[in-house]
Amino acid sequence: MAFRGSGPLVRMDGITKTFSGHPANSSIHFEVNNGEVHSLLGENGAGKTTLMNILCGIYLPDAGNIWIKGERKEFRSPRDSILSGIGMVHQHSMLVPSMTVWENMVLGLDNLSQFLPKKQIIGEMASLSSRYGLQVEPEAKIWQLSIGEQQRVSILKVLFRKAELLILDEPTAVLTPQESENLFKTVFQMKNEGHGIVFISHKLNEVLALSDRITILRKGHKVGTVNTGETTREALAEMMVGKRVSFTILKGPANPGEIAMELKDIFVNNDRGLPAVKGLSLQLRRGEILGIAGIAGNGQHELCETMVGLRKSEKGNILINGKTLKRFNPKNFIAHGVRYIPADRKGTGLVPNMNIQENAILKNYWQEPVSRGITINWRIVLDFALSIVRKFNVDTPSLNTPVRNLSGGNLQKLMLGRELSGKPTVLIAVHPTWGLDVAATKFVRDTILQEREKGAAILLVSEDLDELIALSDRLAVIHKGLFMGITDEPERISRENLGLMMAGIALEEIQGNEVRQ
């Protein structure tokens, strides 16, 4: 592919953007050349997304200029940006689920004829697919595809629009290790063909493996741009956080006690009424962490919701402290000491428009002393919320702040504080560190380990394999609603085998093959 023009592909200069008094970007300089992977590294709230939204024409900068191949541009809408050859692959799919892959490909193009030249579109798609290793079935409907496949469609869609610059927003968060490998191959291919690529991530290993240059942002400021060959993981982390960070997780030896929660042959359906968990059994012991690995959408979500009473199982029993549960409603599970850190913080765990105090009592608003007769004792609530905020270091201007204004890390601390107040018997934690900055991640992991020491039975679902391996005492891999295997020594299983299990090959089968070889 031949690209014309002179100068860097994209040059952003002095970009400043302020949201109601808070600078999200302050005079940031950023450039990407053709044939370069330039990573944008920073914690949540560092301004990566704002900067890229400006490049995509979603926000107008307060100050600063954008040049594309030496030509000054002003993007007033996403359309302007797309026409200049910029394409963003969002973290969450922006495709229409009920339409086919090829229909999504042309969706939003405005120079199409009334009768879609389907053959031509599919032909063009096929050539892009084979060139960049993005295999996907053109006639399949989006909802039938896995998250990884949907991501491939999103990338194809951007390439189909002849984008020269591709922005990938945390693309590996939803992929298996093998799928990530394939994505990296695609990225290298695009780079070799002269595309510029912005890779947004907070995973240091990936950034180091993939990029030519790395720009680090912190609190809206640019800390610096470094060549990948001249830096280390530790140096990057320090630039990102502003102080030295330790990556070590101090975990004492496991001390498993009696069984706190047991599932026997559980069947659960998903929202569409199709089976999501198919006869799964597990035991959670006090003082241990059971990790669950798996690609999103393999029944983890439904399993966890069943374990906290939010979803009814079709078949099977749940025992807490050896007794079979009779009533499957959240209140009964809460009463039995089951606590839940849902993945969807603002959607399930908290009420965004309500303030910290009101959110703090979501799980005990009916209990003494918070509740007094039919009223709520707001004086006690104030003390209760204050104790959570202090103990869990929630950074907030006041206790009357609506929680929608808190950052992801502070939301998670507030929720942890609430769920861990009182003594949980069982803690179900789903993606507890997802999207959190380094410091908050460490805080959350340490807190979970402390609960383990205190004797809680913990189920941990995560997409971060490093995290699962470091924290879990036992690690299970789920695929299509069944465990492909459980290992007692998570640190000794290879990534490759975990990947195979995530793809649906049972542990015994893998071990059988290894023995035969």
Partner 1 sequence: MTIKGLTVQKRKDAPAWLEVFIPVAGFILALLTGAIFLAFLGVSPFEAYREMLISSLGDSYGISETIVKAIPLAMAGLGVMLSFKMLIWNIGAEGQIFIGSLATAAVVRYFYVDNSMIMFVLMFLAAAMAGGAWASVAGYLRARWRVNEIITTLMMNYVAIHLVDYFVYGPWRDPGSLGFPMTAPFPDAARLFQFSGTRVHLGIVIAVILSLLFYWIFKYTRWGYEIRVIGENPKAADFAGMNYLKNVVLVMFLSGAIAGIAGMTEIAGLQGRLQHGFSAGYGYTAIIVAWLARLHPIAVLLVSFLMGALLVGGDALQIVMRLPLSTTLVIQGLILFFVLGGEFFRRYTIKIITEKEPEKWRS
> Given the rule CB under 8 A, which residues bind partner 1?
7, 11, 13-14, 19-20, 59-60, 65, 67, 72, 74, 76-77, 308-310, 329-332, 334, 340, 342, 344, 347-354, 358, 361-363, 365-366, 371, 374-376, 378, 405
Q: Please, what is the minimum distance in Å from the beta carbon of residue 72 to partner 1?
A: 5
Q: How far apart are CA 77 and CA 116, in angstroms?
A: 26
Q: How far apart are CA 202 and CA 190, in angstroms?
A: 22
Angle, alpha carbons 8-75-90 (nearest 5°)? 80
Contacts of 95 (CB under 8 A, 6+ apart): 104, 142, 150, 153, 154, 157
Closer to partner 1 at the Cβ: 419 or 473? Answer: 419
Q: How far apart are CA 421 and CA 413, in angstroms?
A: 12
Closer to partner 1 at the Cβ: 182 or 332? Answer: 332
Q: How far apart are CA 344 and CA 308, in angstroms?
A: 15
Q: Please, what is the minimum distance in Å from the beta carbon of residue 308 to partner 1?
A: 8
Output phi, psi for 37, to 5 deg: -105, 115
Angle, alpha carbons 66-38-95 (nearest 5°)? 80
3-state secondary structure of 110: coil
Q: Please, what is the minimum distance in Å from the beta carbon of residue 360 to partner 1?
A: 12
Closer to partner 1 at the Cβ: 208 or 376? Answer: 376
Rounded to 10 degrees, the C-alpha dihedral 192/198/200/206 comes to 20
Q: Which helix (H) or strand (E) holds 52?
A: helix 48-55
Closer to partner 1 at the Cβ: 429 or 500? Answer: 429
Q: Please, what is the minimum distance in Å from the beta carbon of residue 334 to partner 1?
A: 6
Q: Please, what is the minimum distance in Å from the beta carbon of residue 16 to partner 1?
A: 13
Closer to partner 1 at the Cβ: 201 or 355? Answer: 355
Closer to partner 1 at the Cβ: 128 or 362? Answer: 362
Half-sphere exposure of 482 (CA within 13 A, CB side): 9
Q: Please, what is the minimum distance in Å from the beta carbon of residue 96 to partner 1?
A: 23
Closer to partner 1 at the Cβ: 73 or 157? Answer: 73
Q: Please, what is the minimum distance in Å from the beta carbon of residue 333 to partner 1?
A: 8
Q: Please, what is the minimum distance in Å from the beta carbon of residue 377 to partner 1?
A: 9
Q: How far apart are CA 60 and CA 45, in angstroms?
A: 18
Q: Which amino acid is at 219?
A: K
Residues 470 and 267 sit within 8 Å (Cβ to Cβ): no
Q: Strand locations in 36-145, DSSP E?
A: 37-41, 63-68, 71-73, 86-89
Closer to partner 1 at the Cβ: 109 or 335? Answer: 335
Q: How far apart are CA 139 and CA 53, in angstroms?
A: 31
